[in-house]
């Protein structure tokens, strides 16, 4: 058996991401995009690496000039009607994320969920669930993904966020120069 190499690992990751992207429901993706586009403000919430991926999405939406908040930050205001909560949970059962989605729904905000399943407590409360066909973090069978834990799901969350951003940016007519002044300058 050949020794594992970084190029071989890249091949596995790229193949898995490509296969996953080919199986994302276009209608659900457009519905998610529409809810985000029509919202007054966008709130993002996820745990662990999924949460980190959603922070990347929050940054890009801010670059578009959107009012974006990361749940849990001290400056995050109350969510209200007209807002959207974008959440990620591979299993759709992460208690803090499900509770945040219920709260958002109860106050009249929309909920967009990224998950590996549309049969979960999170999907029950979400306005739209964009299913990302990947292994959850507890699936160690190697069937849905050769990667460790929820790596493929987390990668997909980051890429979906970039795809949502890129679509909104392309449709919005702003140039890269228009977005640049919103880029962080306190780095």
Supply the residues annotated as catalytic: 154
Cβ partners under 8 Å of residue 70, min gap 6:
43, 44, 45, 54, 55, 58, 76
**Beta strands, E only, the chain:** 41-46, 67-70, 84-88, 110-115, 128-131
Query: Distance between CA atoms of 10 and 130, rounded to whole angstroms?
Result: 25
Environment class of 127 (CB within 10 Å of its CB; exposed 0-12, middle 13-18, buried 19+): middle
Q: Are 36 and 112 in contact (CB under 8 A)?
A: yes
């Amino acid at each position: 058996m050949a020794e594992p190499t970084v190029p071989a690992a890249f091949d596995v990751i790229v193949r898995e991401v490509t296969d996953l992207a080919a199986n994302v429901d276009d209608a659900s993706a457009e519905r998610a995009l529409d809810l985000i586009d029509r919202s007054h403000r966008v709130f993002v919430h996820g745990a662990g690496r999924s949460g980190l991926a959603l922070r990347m999405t929050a940054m890009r939406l801010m670059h578009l000039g959107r009012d974006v908040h990361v749940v849990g930050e001290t400056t995050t205001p109350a969510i209200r009607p007209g807002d959207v909560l974008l959440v990620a949970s591979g299993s759709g059962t992460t208690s803090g994320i499900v509770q945040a989605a219920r709260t958002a729904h109860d106050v009249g905000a929309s909920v967009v969920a990224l998950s590996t399943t549309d049969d979960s407590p999170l999907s029950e409360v979400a306005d739209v669930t964009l299913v990302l066909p990947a292994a959850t973090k507890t699936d160690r069978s190697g069937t849905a993904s050769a990667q460790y834990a929820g790596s493929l799901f987390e990668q997909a969350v980051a890429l979906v966020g970039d795809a949502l951003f890129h679509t909104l940016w392309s449709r919005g007519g702003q140039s890269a120069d228009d977005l640049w002044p919103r880029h962080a300058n306190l780095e």
